[in-house]
Amino acid sequence: MATYATYNVELITLEPFRIGAITDPMSGIDNPVATVGKRVVIQGPSLKGALRSEIERHLIDKYKGDQLMKPCIPSSQQTLSNEEKQLIQSGKFREGGSCFYSERSKSSSICPSCYFLGAQGLAGFVRVPYLYSEIVPEMLYSVRIDRAIGVVREKTNRNYQLISDNTKFIGKIEVLLSDPVKDWEIGKPRPQIGELDNWLRGNKWTQESLLNEFILERIRAIDSLGGFKSKGFGKVTITVQPEK
């Protein structure tokens, strides 16, 4: 039977906050926030993207010059932007685009970010949750100023939903510790693709120190999330505690 470590995640907004959803023309709201079952949520992919960014930042800052520890940019070689190519050329990210694995083709290795969070064709060890809140969204109204005459331009009123500061979101993150069927154990190269997990060779970490350095402390390091950051939105603080 697979074994997991479960952690309670609590996110508190420090500023107005929003993660948008697809507009429903029946609601009359131009820019709604994301909800599931009428509860406001921070989607798993949004939180996972922020976690990946923090892992990447940590790898670049602490392991500069170690080729095995370079993160990938999770995009195919053909779709890399010019800015992403410049990051690769600067030596911060590895060449070749995203990590991937299949029976027919595979990347040269699986970077630490993709080891934990998953790569194309290969699951990771961390299940990133949706975070839920019981808060009722508030409304923000925005208009456009006509620069020529200095007044509000006609028919530019738009309404937005937002979440106020000091709002709590909660959820649970699960980390796969071991799976005897797959013969996987976090912190060790995976037998089927062990040559691709070569950054783990040398036993640099205990399982506890690896979880703390690359997962728990990186989640706690997330300090902004969501959209409208140029409008003063998005600052957050996150705590993570083992489930009792």
Of the chain, the percentage scoring pLDDT greater than 90 comes to: 64
Question: Distance between CA atoms of 116 and 218, rounded to whole angstroms?
Answer: 12
Residue 175 has pLDDT above 90, yes or no: yes
Residue 154 has pLDDT above 70, yes or no: no
- More reliable by pLDDT, 26 or 36: 36
CB 169 within 8 Å of CB 74 = no
Reported as a single tens digit per residue, the pLDDT across 65-92 is 899 999 999 888 788 889 989 999 999 9
Residue 203 has pLDDT above 80, yes or no: no
Question: In the predicted model, what is the mean pLDDT of the chain?
Answer: 88
Question: What amino acid occupies position 49?
Answer: G
Residue spans of the domains in the chain: they are 3-63+111-242
69-92 per-residue burial string, b: 16 or more CB within 10 A, e: under 16? bbbbbbeeeeebeeeeeeebeeeb
Model confidence band, residue 14 (pLDDT cutoffs 50, 70, 90): very high
Q: What is the 3-state secondary structure (H, E, C) of 53-108?
A: HHHHHHHHHHCCCCHHHCCCCCCCHHHCCHHHHHHHHCCCCCCCCCCEECCCCECC
Q: Highest mean pLDDT: which of 42-51, 76-85, 198-207?
A: 42-51
Residue 143 has pLDDT above 50, yes or no: no
Residue 213 has pLDDT above 80, yes or no: yes
Burial of 66 (0-12, 13-18, 19+ CB in 10 A): exposed
**Neighbouring residues of 104: CB distance < 8 A, sequence distance ≥ 6:** none
Of the chain, the percentage scoring pLDDT greater than 70 comes to: 87
Which pLDDT belongs to residue 96?
A: 82
Model confidence band, residue 204 (pLDDT cutoffs 50, 70, 90): confident
- Report the number of secondary-structure helices (H) and strands (E) in the chain: 5, 12
Question: Distance between CA atoms of 129 and 46, rounded to whole angstroms?
Answer: 10
Prediction pTM value:
0.88
Which pLDDT belongs to residue 89?
A: 92
Which pLDDT belongs to residue 30?
A: 59
Residue 145 has pLDDT above 60, yes or no: no
Name the token pair of 34.
Answer: 């994301």
- More reliable by pLDDT, 238 or 103: 238
Which pLDDT belongs to residue 60?
A: 96
Average pLDDT over residues 35-40: 89
- More reliable by pLDDT, 148 or 54: 54
Residue 10 has pLDDT above 50, yes or no: yes
Which pLDDT belongs to residue 152?
A: 47
- More reliable by pLDDT, 103 or 122: 122
Name the token pair of 178.
Answer: 């071991």
DSSP annotation string for 132-174: EE-PPPEEEEE--EETTTTEEPTT--EEEEEB-TT-EEEEEEE
